[in-house]
Amino acid sequence: MQQGRTILEDRGKGPARAAPGSALRLPETDIGRGRRPERREESRPGRSPSLLPHEPVGEPPAETRSFVLIVDDPDAPGGVFTHWVLFNLPVGSRELPEAVPTQAQLPNGSLQGKNDFGGIGYGGPCPPPGRPHRYQFALYALDQPLDLKAGASKKQVIGAMQGHILAQGQLTGTYQR
């Protein structure tokens, strides 16, 4: 595993309406630190262990009503590969527990979208052997929950977020087999 680095950026110039300088602090995950702790390993056939962000996020803008988290691998052989789409996280959410269940709706009301493995929830990194892959954890603070059902695609979530993003942050970690 390669050492990752934290990237926080203001993407206020994009299709969202985030104000300049409105970046969220997304804490490093173990994958971002270049570590894979044994206590978080969850073996699944054909997939590497799940490595989830589990530390508190920074304080969002006061107008925040929900969060969205999207995890992508932009280095996948077939193009960007989505590992997780999690939306309508309650505004009071500041961390994710270990081993988030792969179910459509979580106990806190958050909804999970479809990943590129074809399932609901988080699918851990599983790059082909060789060069390291980047895993981008993008967190968005929204001014309203999204009017989507669980199982929505990343494209649907991104479309529904348009014009509602107050702030965002990104963490990039690398992983290599």
Backbone angles phi, psi at 154, to 5 degrees: -60, -40
Average pLDDT of the residues in 104-120? 95
At residue 141 the predicted structure's pLDDT band, cuts being 50, 70 and 90, is very high
List domains and CATH numbers for the chain: 1-161 (3.90.280.10)
Residue 96 to residue 100: CA distance in whole angstroms: 7
Measured CA to CA in angstroms, residue 34 lies from 40, 75, 77, 96 at distances of 14, 17, 22, 19
Average pLDDT of the residues in 79-105? 88
Backbone angles phi, psi at 175, to 5 degrees: -145, 140
Dig out the tokens for 63 from the structure: 């107008």
Q: Tens of pLDDT along 114-132?
A: 999 999 998 888 888 888 8
Q: Tens of pLDDT along 143-160?
A: 999 999 999 999 999 999
Residue 79's pLDDT is what? 94
Q: Let me know: does 136 contact 105? Beta carbons within 8 Å.
A: no
Q: Tens of pLDDT along 26-77?
A: 555 444 444 443 333 333 333 333 444 544 456 789 999 999 999 999 999 9
